[in-house]
Amino acid sequence: MSEHDPKSQSSQTIDVLLEEDRTFEPSAQFKSQANIADPGIYEKARKDPENFWASFAEELHWYRKWDKVLEWNPPYAKWFVGGKINACYNCVDRHVKNGLRNKAALIWQGEPGEKRTLTYWDLYREVNKFANALKGLGVVKGDRVAIYLPMIPELVISLLACARIGAVHSVVFAGFSPEALADRIKDAKAKVLITADGGYRRGSIIPLKHDADYALMDTPSIEHVVIVKRGEFMLRVKEGRDHWYHRLMQEAANYCEPEPMDAEDMLYILYTSGTTGKPKGIIHTTGGYLVGTYATSKWVFDLKPQDVFWCTADIGWVTGHSYLVYGPLANGATQVMYEGAPDWPDRDRFWSIIEEYGVTVFYTAPTAIRAFMRWGDKEPAKHDLSSLRLLGTVGEPINPEAWMWYHRNIGREKCPIVDTWWQTETGSILITPLPGITKTKPGSATVPFPGIEAEIFTDKGERVEVGGGYLALTRPWPAMLRGIYGDPERYKAQYWTKWKGDLYFTGDGAKRDTEGYFWILGRVDDVINIAGHRVSTMEVESAFVDHPDVVETAVVGIADELKGQAIAAFVTLREGVELDHGLENRLKDHVVRKIGALARPKQILFTAELPKTRSGKIMRRLLRDIASGQVPGDTSTLADPSVVEQLKRRYEED
């Protein structure tokens, strides 16, 4: 942190944003039907946040009501203390019992073209059976289950089946490499792995079980592997350890009693990149998380019984956990789930899905919107998108141009846009418009959700009323993380020690305007946000130096038109290694093998030396400046200032 000055990096963004003065009021029509349209709710929630959250909790099913809404012993919060609840029961059984038994829960679209619709009853049946199958493999409350699946209904079923029996799920994005999977399995000491023979992405097959077999060579905690059969893919089955999902389901009993969980029992672990090398296992518990995702789904996405909600995120990321699984299902929503890529077989795939299923509320990422912009207005124009009534974005700052494009071409100038800011750690959306209340401004996530308090502070902890600084959260909220799995010290150090006074440090820079609107400026730590996915520079650096030809490397984020940010690497080779033509690609492939395709470096600059301080610290700020073509600022603390000049020259030649 210390070597980085967010103001210098963000000043340009601030200038650009300052010019943004377009505003959009919710229409009278939208207001009149919105789940929440009373602006007084902000003040009401501010005065009594505990009661505010409790009123949502009361809409859920509890085996035992809580004794106390909040117990706050910073940095540890307990919500709905003493309450007993089951997340799966609330997402499935409750609706089956309340008249939604035959309502579509999931409308699944496979990339090659298959369709499957699961009603709440179907989901109930499948989840019960799979919960029994897991129990049959010896999974008990508190055990960790790793999940490495493509975007197929069995992924949702797996999460809910774990939640039903109190097992802790740890989903690993199917685009991650076997090594990344192995690391996560080992950290969580998972007992069972659920995977598939394969999945489809952009017309090709991802051989998940084949990849998982590599991970499984190094994961002694795994006792059983469940394989979902997605296609006709080749794979090896290890007798005794590996089981076909469909066979287990044939033998499983129809009903499995849900486990009444303590509100603070762990629901899941989800790994995310932080500032040091190892990914952090973010812990979410049951009661507060469900209340937070339920409440925000209801108010931010304004979900109604007749809506068809489509969140395009993969369940491998937190957005899929909160806004494809727990939040919308707790609301009894009907959802679209799509397996594949937005440009397969054609660049209008998303729009054709919206038209076909009559999607009403659509939630996607700015990086996708920028790709759509590039593909041209004619793609969405081919389709009837008139079913849409509300749009959302998440994952990274949206540039005002992309916002306006989304507004015109997808929302046809009639849909409000909710730009939702949150994190894996926050569990639920925290800064966002409420579509029936909030005036929006392109590029601004607007204001904190009722009951949430955000502030901007300087490095020294001075509060910034209007202007830029670091984004902080000043009050606990129900879906907040409860820690980092197996590493309480890191939890404190990472989030709670930047300032005095029990303030949560988000790692984001932000600016507040004169109307109190927040403008998120992106990460201020060593995390690169690639297409809305967090990758830590340290992790990529470890992957580089793992290659025998590399001695040292420094990785920085550079602006990328499509993905928001991309990886630029400065690499020092081992003495005697020849810099041949293929080396750059071999190194890129190596990083992909270690982490996954999303971490593929965009550019590599080979250099004999990296700029370092006299104490030997690599000066990333300078590298960032060089990589983004800016003139490096202060070099007075450098051990050898000539290194920067040499680097700059090499960079310009490249």
Q: Which helix (H) or strand (E) holds 169?
A: strand 168-171
Cα separation, 54 vs 58, whole angstroms: 6
Residue 127 near residue 164 (C-beta atoms within 8 A):
yes
Min dist CB 421 to ligand WTA, Å, is: 4
Reported residue count of the chain is 654
The residues, any chain, with a CB within 8 Å of residue 384's CB and separated by 6 or more, are 355
The residues, any chain, with a CB within 8 Å of residue 337's CB and separated by 6 or more, are 106, 107, 108, 109, 151, 153, 156, 324
Using the contact rule CB under 6 A, the part of the chain among 420-428, 552-560, 587-595, 638-646 near ligand WTA is 420-428
Window 32-61: contact mask with ligand WTA (x via CB under 6 A): ------------------------------
Residue ranges of the annotated binding site are: 201-204, 319, 395-397, 419-424, 508, 523, 534, 545, 547, 550
Residue ranges of the annotated binding site for CoA are: 201-204, 319
Cα separation, 586 vs 574, whole angstroms: 15
Residue 448 near residue 43 (C-beta atoms within 8 A):
no
The CA-CA-CA angle for residues 146, 151, 154, to 5°, reads 65
Task: Kindly tell me the sign of the dihedral angle through the C-alpha atoms of 166, 172, 174, 177.
Answer: negative
Cα separation, 211 vs 122, whole angstroms: 30
b/e burial code for range 499-520 (CB count within 10 A of at least 16 → b): beeebbbbbbbbbbbeeebbbb
Count, in order, helices (H) and strands (E) of the chain: 23, 30
Min dist CB 547 to ligand WTA, Å, is: 27
Min dist CB 213 to ligand WTA, Å, is: 28
334-338 and 104-109 strand pairing = parallel
Query: What Rg do the C-alpha atoms of the chain give, in angstroms?
Result: 24
Min dist CB 341 to ligand WTA, Å, is: 19
Using the contact rule CB under 6 A, the part of the chain among 295-303, 355-363, 415-423, 556-564 near ligand WTA is 415-423
Number of residues that bind ligand WTA (CB under 6 A): 23
Residue 513 near residue 569 (C-beta atoms within 8 A):
no
The residues, any chain, with a CB within 8 Å of residue 28's CB and separated by 6 or more, are none
Residue type, 519: W
Measure CA 590 to chain center.
25
395 binds ligand WTA per the rule CB under 6 A: yes
- By beta-carbon proximity to ligand WTA, the closer residue of 272 and 360 is 272
Number of neighbours of residue 58 by Cβ within 10 angstroms? 10
- By beta-carbon proximity to ligand WTA, the closer residue of 170 and 423 is 423
By CB atoms closer than 10 A (0-12, 13-18, 19+), residue 336 is buried
In the list 111, 211, 355, 419, the residue contacting ligand WTA (rule: CB under 6 A) is 419
- By beta-carbon proximity to ligand WTA, the closer residue of 69 and 520 is 520
Q: Among residue numbers 484 through 523, which ones bind ligand WTA (CB under 6 A)?
A: 506-508, 520, 522-523
Residue 391 near residue 411 (C-beta atoms within 8 A):
yes
Min dist CB 238 to ligand WTA, Å, is: 34
Q: Which helix (H) or strand (E) holds 371?
A: helix 366-375
Task: Kindly tell me the sign of the dihedral angle through the C-alpha atoms of 289, 292, 118, 228.
Answer: negative
- By beta-carbon proximity to ligand WTA, the closer residue of 160 and 520 is 520
Residue ranges of the annotated binding site for Mg(2+) are: 545, 547, 550
Min dist CB 276 to ligand WTA, Å, is: 16
- By beta-carbon proximity to ligand WTA, the closer residue of 561 and 645 is 561
Window 421-460: contact mask with ligand WTA (x via CB under 6 A): xxxx--------------------x---------------
396 binds ligand WTA per the rule CB under 6 A: yes
- By beta-carbon proximity to ligand WTA, the closer residue of 128 and 296 is 296
394 binds ligand WTA per the rule CB under 6 A: yes
Min dist CB 523 to ligand WTA, Å, is: 5
- By beta-carbon proximity to ligand WTA, the closer residue of 128 and 312 is 312
In the list 10, 90, 119, 319, the residue contacting ligand WTA (rule: CB under 6 A) is 319
Cα separation, 217 vs 76, whole angstroms: 37
272 binds ligand WTA per the rule CB under 6 A: yes
- By beta-carbon proximity to ligand WTA, the closer residue of 54 and 479 is 479
- By beta-carbon proximity to ligand WTA, the closer residue of 262 and 425 is 425
By CB atoms closer than 10 A (0-12, 13-18, 19+), residue 497 is exposed
Q: Among residue numbers 83 through 142, which ones bind ligand WTA (CB under 6 A)?
A: none
Residue ranges of the annotated binding site for ATP are: 395-397, 419-424, 508, 523, 534
Measure CA 401 to chain center.
23
The residues, any chain, with a CB within 8 Å of residue 644's CB and separated by 6 or more, are 611, 622, 626, 632, 635, 638
- By beta-carbon proximity to ligand WTA, the closer residue of 248 and 471 is 471
Min dist CB 432 to ligand WTA, Å, is: 8
Window 520-559: contact mask with ligand WTA (x via CB under 6 A): x-xx-----x----x-------------------------
- By beta-carbon proximity to ligand WTA, the closer residue of 424 and 607 is 424
Min dist CB 258 to ligand WTA, Å, is: 28
Q: CA torsion, points 113, 395, 367, 537, in degrees to nearest 10?
A: -110
199-201 and 518-523 strand pairing = unpaired
Min dist CB 589 to ligand WTA, Å, is: 25
Using the contact rule CB under 6 A, the part of the chain among 248-256, 394-402, 535-543, 574-582 near ligand WTA is 394-402
Using the contact rule CB under 6 A, the part of the chain among 21-29, 99-107, 416-424, 557-565 near ligand WTA is 416-424
Min dist CB 127 to ligand WTA, Å, is: 25
Cα separation, 633 vs 547, whole angstroms: 32
Using the contact rule CB under 6 A, the part of the chain among 209-217, 369-377, 417-425, 589-597 near ligand WTA is 417-425
Residues near ligand WTA, by CB under 6 A: 272, 317-319, 394-397, 419-424, 445, 506-508, 520, 522-523, 529, 534
